[in-house]
Amino acid sequence: MGSIKKGKWVGAAVVLAAGILLPAFTTPPPPQPQRRDFNIIAHKYAYEPSVIHVNQGDEVHVRFSSKDVTHGFFLEGYDVDALSEAGKTGLLVRHPSETGNFTSAQEIVFKADKKGKFRYRCSMTCGYMHPFMMGVLIVEPNSLFGQAMGLMIGLLIAGFILVWPSGKSPVLVSEGVPA
Ligand SMILES: [Cu+2]
């Protein structure tokens, strides 16, 4: 009986170790945060590109310009709002939470520290379709998340093995069933 229990513990330890180690070998290392540059062009009533992808932790630089009238670039979740006047290279940028005025800048810069989908939309009324002028920033999670999932699955399987009834019980049950 003691040896069965010991075997279970060893089994659980092996599964747990696999749960921790396998993801470390099979998933690529987390991407190093890097500088990402984007050129976003606004016109009635869209952004080009309308979807941008970065990895969590990246430093994002957006050069934003307008083709026709003055357009805005309000990025949800990142406290960024910018304005671009057609034909002008510079921008006006502000951080809405700081209630500050717009200051001129060459580009929008922020660190993509939150993962998820964040809409960017026009913050300057530019015509009848203005409310529909939007795009989306997708911040991919750091792959450490994959390793955390591997650890969790390993723990679950180890726990499952520990509480699983011993090998004898199915035999007892089948013996109890009348032939
Ligand atoms: Cu607009």
| Token pair belonging to 140 | 């991919």
Q: How far apart are CA 142 and CA 114, in angstroms?
A: 10
d(CA 138, CA 55): 8
Residue 42: the pLDDT is 96
pLDDT-derived band at 166, boundaries 50, 70, 90:
low
Task: Extract the tokens encoding 166.
Answer: 């011993």
> What is the distance in A from the centroid of ligand 1 to the CA of 126?
4
The alpha carbon of 129 and the centre of ligand 1 are apart by a number of angstroms equal to: 8
CB 74, CB 62: distance < 8 Å: no
Given a cut of 80, whether residue 135 has pLDDT beyond it is yes
Residue 67 pLDDT grade (very low, low, confident, very high; cuts 50, 70, 90): very high
For 164, the token pair is: 């699983």
Q: Are strands 116-121 and 108-111 parallel, antiparallel or unpaired?
A: unpaired
Determine the pLDDT at residue 87: 84
Question: Is the CB of residue 97 less than 8 Å from the CB of residue 84?
Answer: no
Alpha carbon distances (Å) from 118 to 95, 108, 115, 121, 168: 16, 15, 9, 10, 55
CA distance 135 to 127: 17
Tell me how far the alpha carbon of residue 134 lies from the centroid of ligand 1, in angstroms. 9
Reported as a single tens digit per residue, the pLDDT across 8-32 is 888 888 877 877 777 666 666 667 8
Q: How far is the CA of 93 from the centre of ligand 1 (A)?
A: 16
Question: Ligand 1: distance of its center to the CA of 9 in Å?
Answer: 63
Q: What is the pLDDT of residues 97-106, one digit of tens each?
A: 987 789 999 9
> Cα(48) to centroid of ligand 1, in Å?
14
Compute, in angstroms, the gap from residue 71 CA to the centroid of ligand 1. 5
Residues within 5 A (CB) of ion ligand 1: 122, 126, 130, 133
CA of 63 to the centre of ligand 1 (A): 17
